[in-house]
């Protein structure tokens, strides 16, 4: 008897667990929500936490954000696992549209990158306004530079900036020991740079929201080449039948509407504005 009751007990417990799991997920599936593939910079900087409740309050559409590097976010959208793509690497976004994964990319806003490094500044780049010159100095001084190395928008921007300095430490042979590619997100990259007294490129939003700065401080900023454009687009419903086209498009439209643009401009940390709406700027 005891045996049977034991087996039954285990089975009953397991079944209850499964049912409890199935019920809430069925209930939440009935709610109106869209899935947005976006980047760690928008999530970690707190922007989404500030603007999404305003959109949800107006439309009743819940926005579920999956925050990855730009490369990974694009891959996710290409598999049809997100309704909207909201990232920051214009060439990749235009390719996404050209390949038919979306019909229209809309420019939304920009923020900027800064070069941070140890306050002791062994490469002597502090206060410079020329990012190419600063990178050359870091390379000459062979000071540690931590690279995202994860195919994110920030990583791609970093590689492009090295090119403006006519350098390519990522591909150098023999390997440059001061150039450390760690293949991780912005936060872990800043943690690593702080721990090894290294320089790195970061978006200003993540930096302002980042708490474990250690010896790091902003050394180079405000070069035009450090501006970072964000674009949003609905994943093409013609490619994937399950895409929530109406609700997804409502989100993209809201982002570029006067209301959405104001919500973006209103987000500040310690009084500092992080993202600058520019949906109406031609060619952005």
Partner 1 sequence: MHDFSQAMALAVSMIATLDDGLMQIVGLSLRVSLTAVAAATLIGLPLGAAVAALIFPGRRAVAIVLNTLMGLPPVVVGLVVYLLLSRSGPFGVLGLLFTPTAMIVAQTVMIVPIVASLSRQTVEDLLVEYDDLLRVTGAGPFRRLATLLSEARWSLVTTVLAGFGRASAEVGAVMIVGGNIEHVTRVMTTAIALETSKGDLPMALALGLVLMTLSLAVNLAASLLKETGERA
Q: Footprint of partner 1 on this chain (CB under 8 A)? A: 2-3, 6-7, 10-11, 13-14, 17-18, 20-22, 24-25, 28-29, 35, 40, 44, 64-67, 79-81, 185-188, 190-191, 194, 209-213, 240, 242
Phi and psi dihedrals of 171, rounded to 5? -110, 5
Residue 198 CA neighbour count, 13 Å, CB half: 24
Find the shortest distance in angstroms from Cβ 196 to partner 1.
15
- Angle CA(64)–CA(70)–CA(75) in degrees, nearest 5? 80
How near is the Cβ of 239 to partner 1 at its closest, in Å? 10
Q: Three-class SS of residue 75?
A: helix
| Residue corresponding to tokens 């200003």 | 204
Residue 186 has which token pair? Answer: 């912005």
The residue among 209 and 273 lying less far from partner 1, judged by its C-beta, is 209
If the CB atoms of residues 43 and 223 are measured against partner 1, the closer one turns out to be 43
Query: Does residue 219 contact residue 127 with C-beta atoms inside 8 Å?
Result: yes
Q: Which is nearer to partner 1, 11 or 119 (CB)?
A: 11
CB of 232 to partner 1, least distance (A): 18
Q: Which is nearer to partner 1, 90 or 239 (CB)?
A: 239
CB of 40 to partner 1, least distance (A): 7
**Nearer Cβ to partner 1 (122/187):** 187
Ramachandran quadrant class, 128 (left: phi over 0; alpha: psi -120 to 50; beta: rest) = beta
């Amino acid at each position: 008897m005891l045996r049977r009751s034991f087996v039954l007990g285990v089975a009953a417990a397991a079944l209850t667990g499964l049912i409890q799991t199935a019920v809430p997920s069925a209930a939440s599936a009935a709610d109106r929500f869209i899935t947005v593939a976006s980047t760690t910079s928008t999530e970690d900087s707190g922007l989404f936490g500030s603007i999404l409740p305003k959109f949800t309050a107006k439309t009743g559409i819940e926005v579920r954000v999956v925050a990855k590097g730009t490369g990974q976010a694009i891959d996710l959208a290409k598999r049809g696992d997100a309704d909207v793509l909201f990232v920051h690497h214009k060439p990749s976004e235009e390719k996404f549209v050209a390949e038919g994964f979306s019909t229209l990319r809309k420019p939304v806003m920009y923020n900027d990158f800064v070069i941070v490094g140890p306050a002791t500044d062994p490469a002597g780049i502090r206060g410079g306004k020329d990012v190419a010159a600063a990178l050359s100095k870091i390379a000459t001084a062979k000071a540690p530079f931590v690279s995202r190395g994860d195919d994110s928008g920030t990583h791609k921007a970093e590689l492009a900036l090295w090119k403006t300095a006519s350098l390519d430490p990522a591909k150098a042979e023999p390997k440059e020991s001061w150039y450390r590619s760690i293949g991780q997100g912005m936060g872990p990259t800043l943690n690593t740079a702080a721990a090894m007294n290294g320089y790195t490129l970061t978006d200003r939003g993540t930096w302002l929201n980042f708490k474990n700065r250690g010896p790091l401080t902003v050394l180079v900023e405000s070069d035009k080449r450090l501006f970072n454009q964000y674009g949003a687009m609905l994943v093409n419903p013609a490619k994937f039948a399950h895409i929530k086209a109406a609700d997804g498009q409502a989100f993209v439209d809201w982002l570029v509407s006067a209301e959405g643009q104001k919500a973006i401009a209103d987000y500040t940390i310690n009084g500092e504005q992080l993202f600058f709406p520019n949906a109406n700027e031609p060619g952005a």
